[in-house]
Amino acid sequence: MKFEANLKETVVLDPKNKTTRAIPSEIRKDPLTGRTARICHFMKLKWEKPDFEKMTAGTEKTCPFCPDKVLSITPYFAEDLIPEGRLISGDMVLFPNIAPYDSLGAVATFGSRHYIPMTEITPELIVKGFLLAFDFFKRVESLKHPESVYHIINWNYMPASGSSLIHPHLQVFSTSSAPNLMRQELEAAKKYYEANGTNFWDDLVKSEESENKRFLGRTGRTSWLSSYAPIGVAGDVLGVVDGVNSTLGLTKKDLSDIALGLTKAMTAYDRLGIYSFNMNFFTGAAGDDFTRFHILFSPRTFFNQALGTPDVGALRNLFNETLCMAFPEDIRDMLAPDFKP
- Name the site residues for Zn ion (rule: CB under 5 A): 60, 63, 65-66, 114, 167
CB of 301 to Zn ion, least distance (A): 23
Q: Which is nearer to Zn ion, 67 or 179 (CB)?
A: 67
The alpha-carbon radius of gyration of the chain (Å, integer) is 21
Burial class (CB in 10 A: 0-12, 13-18, 19+), 180: exposed
Question: Which residue number places its CB atom closest to Zn ion?
Answer: 63
Residue 118 CB, shortest distance to Zn ion, in Å, is 16
* Contact between residue 176 and residue 296 where contact means Cβ atoms under 8 Å apart: no
Nearer to Zn ion, 171 or 245 (CB): 171
Closest approach, Cβ 115 to Zn ion, in A, equals 8
Who's near 94: CB < 8 A, 6+ residues apart? 86, 87, 88, 106, 107, 108, 109, 132, 133, 135, 136, 172
Residue 295 CB, nearest approach to Zn ion (Å): 25
Q: 69 or 145: whose CB is closer to Zn ion?
A: 69
Q: Which is nearer to Zn ion, 161 or 283 (CB)?
A: 161
Question: In whole angstroms, how close is the CB of 64 to Zn ion at the nearest point?
Answer: 8
- Residues 6+ positions from 136 with CB-CB distance below 8 Å: 82, 87, 94, 106, 108, 172, 174
What is d(CA 87, CA 109) in angstroms, rounded to the nearest whole number? 11
State the nearest-atom distance from the C-beta of 120 to Zn ion, in Å.
Answer: 15
Nearest distance, CB of residue 262 and Zn ion, angstroms:
21
Cα separation, 55 vs 38, in Å, equals 32
Q: Check: CB of residue 300 under 8 Å from CB of residue 161.
A: yes
In angstroms, what is the minimal distance from the CB of 255 to Zn ion? 24
Q: Which is nearer to Zn ion, 13 or 57 (CB)?
A: 57
* Closest distance of CB 112 from Zn ion, Å: 8
Give the residue with the Cβ less far from Zn ion, 52 or 303. Answer: 52
Of 68 and 211, the one with the shorter C-beta distance to Zn ion is: 68
Q: How many CB atoms lie within 10 A of CB 194?
A: 9
- Residues in CB range of 214: below 8 A, 6 or more apart: 208, 225, 226, 227, 228, 328, 329, 332
Shorter beta-carbon distance to Zn ion: residue 128 or 169: 169
Nearest C-alpha neighbor of 86 from the set 72, 75, 99:
75
Query: Which residue number, 63 or 233, has a Cβ lying nearer to Zn ion?
Result: 63
